[in-house]
Amino acid sequence: MQDRPNKLRSKLRDGQLAVGAVMYSWSPAVMELAGYAGLDFMRLDNEHAWRQDESAEHMMRAAAIGDIIALHRVDRDNPYLIRKALEIGAGGIIIPNVDSPEYTKAVVQAAKFPPQGTRGIGTQCFSAKWNTTDIAKWIDWSDVEPMVGVMIESVKAIECVDDILAVDGVDFALFGPADYSMSLGLRKPDKNHPDVQDALTKTIAAAKKLGKHVMFGVGADPDEIARYVNMGVTMLELPADMAVLRAGWGGACEAVRQRESRRRR
């Protein structure tokens, strides 16, 4: 994203639902297509994917072409990746496993220029149009338009979720049911476990009180989507690109095999 209003931020500010997905293929073509398909955002996973190379820059250019906001989830405990993600054009960053207001403040500081933060300046980058834009305006834009998201995914985080989301500069929380399940000692993800659902409810309540937003993976079932919208989720994350391909191809293959089985009877 370059010096233009963040349409995801604008949509949420206007009280509209935002719809996106998550990408594991790291395909620029898929990112571009997601924008054409009407998605508002795409979460790039660089916590579990190993992509600390030029791949991310290609994704940001594809996002700009497809007019979709790329939200870059970076590795925890590396504030320099926050700066790098914003320099290459991320419309927002997401930090995993945030579990204290102190760490939240450090995240915001890494994403903002002084005096609000500690981000170092570098203008030879995509978001600054390779030093061809008005730098003072770019600095102001950088402090206002890109979004900052934190992941709530542990029992420790839920204990102080109000304080985490109250930190100035945080725009939204991505609730992680899988890691929260593990934090409970369940040994496997269980999105529908009562304790997981209770934690999500607490996160939504804190966000609503503070004028912030909650992102959550809702699947593709209309009833499930309605359920979480009614709970107060405002950023709906549809299934990942690889899951959509697996389901589509798998279903088509099964239909062909069933037809062939009937033909041979």
In a domain, 1, yes or no: no
Q: Which domain, by its residues, includes 35?
A: 7-240
CA distance linking residue 105 with residue 98, whole number of Å: 10
CA distance linking residue 106 with residue 109, whole number of Å: 5
In a domain, 251, yes or no: no
Q: Report the domain count for the chain.
A: 1
In a domain, 255, yes or no: no
In a domain, 139, yes or no: yes
CB 171 within 8 A of CB 149: yes
CATH number reported for the structural domain that contains residue 191 in this entry: 3.20.20.60
CA distance linking residue 152 with residue 171, whole number of Å: 13
Alpha-carbon distances of 196 from 32, 133, 157, 224, 230, rounded to whole Å: 34, 46, 13, 16, 17
CA distance linking residue 14 with residue 164, whole number of Å: 24
In a domain, 224, yes or no: yes
User: What's the pLDDT score for residue 53?
Assistant: 80
CB 219 within 8 A of CB 225: yes
User: What's the pLDDT score for residue 219?
Assistant: 86
Q: Tell me if the pTM is above 0.85.
A: yes
User: What's the pLDDT score for residue 154?
Assistant: 97
User: What's the pLDDT score for residue 164?
Assistant: 98
Q: Which residues of 53-71 are buried (b: 16+ CB within 10 A; e: fewer)?
A: eeebbebbbbbbebebbbb
Per-residue pLDDT of the chain (265 residues; tens, 9 = 90+): 778 899 999 999 999 999 999 999 999 999 999 999 999 999 998 888 777 788 999 999 999 999 999 999 998 777 789 999 999 999 999 999 999 999 999 999 999 999 999 999 999 999 999 999 999 999 999 999 999 999 999 999 999 999 999 999 999 999 999 999 999 999 999 999 999 999 999 999 999 999 999 999 998 899 999 999 999 999 999 999 999 999 999 999 999 999 888 888 7
In a domain, 264, yes or no: no
User: What's the pLDDT score for residue 48?
Assistant: 83
